[in-house]
Amino acid sequence: MPLKQSEHGHDPVLIATVEKYSKLKKGDTVVDCTLGLGGHSEMFLKKIGPKGTLIAFEQDEDNYKYAINRLKGNKNKHIILKNFVHLHSEIEKRGINGVRLVFFDLGLASTQVDDSKRGFSFLQDGPLDMRFDKRSPVTAEMVLDRLSERNLTKIFRDYGEERYSKKYARIIKRNLPIKTTRQLAKLIEHYAPRDNKKKKKRIHPATKVFQALRIEVNQELEVLKDALEQAISILESGGRLIVISYHSLEDRIVKNIIRNATKDCICPPEILVCSCNHKAEMKIITKKPIVPTDEEIEENPRSRSAKMRVAEKL
């Protein structure tokens, strides 16, 4: 049964669906690349039993400490305070073979969003930080200070898919220093074009800029590409990859990497004779991404943009 928010203050997204598609049994080895507050891992541990093994990655020290305490009754776990880009090396270091499931939930934990000191949300004032790993030296404030207007424009366009990326980059550079989330949000809101007022589902004009800055600070997309390739390589035959993403950039990366892993050839179309020597490694289980039900969205509004894809190792 999915955990209720009253139990741990956190609803794991699509947990019943993840349980269904994971196909886990007693004694299996599972890798949770995004431990967060431990909701999905708690379910995995119940499925695999004391003879199974859980390896979990979490780069946020606050989440790490919370999850350690939550899962403290389970001895069959390795919880690693690192980014999941270290997946392959950490698995190899522990001599682990036969991984049955690699799982990614790429969303922010509620504790990160709700803590104003972390700087992820413009709904409350806080420092422009946005680091998942507080040991990292680069904050969102530093990105705004150090990058040129041209580079900021590129970040907002590529990572935020922001229509007014050039305008916002110019305004930001003219109004430095910008040190808080509210300061940045109000600046963008003040200069935002009013043409989106007619849209039925209007979002705050700073939403895409905040997304882009968070992705840049944490290098999320490059890290994700690398980690997905590693995940496929460590799965045993019949093992599954499950990824929950929350915006189109992430979902596109997941879809493309899985799709390429199902092909015997990934040469460009203009190449008539295959020279890549690529062999299919995966098969797609979910032809279309799975999304939350209306009931789950009502219970957990932060799940509304979630998309889950599943593939299986040949």
**Model confidence pLDDT, tens digit, residues 104-127:** 999 888 788 888 899 999 888 999
Identify the burial level of 269 via C-beta atoms within 10 angstroms of its C-beta, where 0-12 means exposed, 13-18 middle and 19 or more buried: exposed
Cα separation, 205 vs 79, whole angstroms = 38
- Give the per-residue pLDDT at 108: 84
Q: What is the amino acid identity at position 57?
A: F
β-pair partners for 102: 31, 241
Candidate from 3-7, 112-116, 247-251, 263-267 with smallest mean pLDDT = 3-7
Residue 3 is predicted with a pLDDT of 36
pLDDT of residue 198: 52
Please state the rounded mean pLDDT for residues 47-72: 96
Q: Give the span between the Cα atoms of 68 and 38, in whole angstroms.
A: 8
Render pLDDT for 202-258 as a digit per residue (tens, 0 to 9).
Answer: 789 999 999 999 999 999 999 999 999 999 999 999 999 999 999 999 999 999 999
Residue 99 scores a pLDDT above 60: yes
> Which domains are seen in the chain, by residue range?
5-105+221-313 (3.40.50.150), 116-218 (1.10.150.170)
Which of 8-12, 220-224, 284-288 is predicted least confidently?
8-12
Distance, in Å, from the CA atom of 200 to the CA atom of 194, rounded to the nearest integer, reads 13
What pLDDT, on the 0 to 100 scale, is given for residue 4? 39
For residue 199, what pLDDT band results from cuts at 50, 70 and 90? low
Compute the average pLDDT of residues 277-293.
Answer: 93
Report the pLDDT value the prediction gives residue 10, as an integer from 0 to 100: 58
Looking at residue 17, its amino acid is T
d(CA 62, CA 132): 10
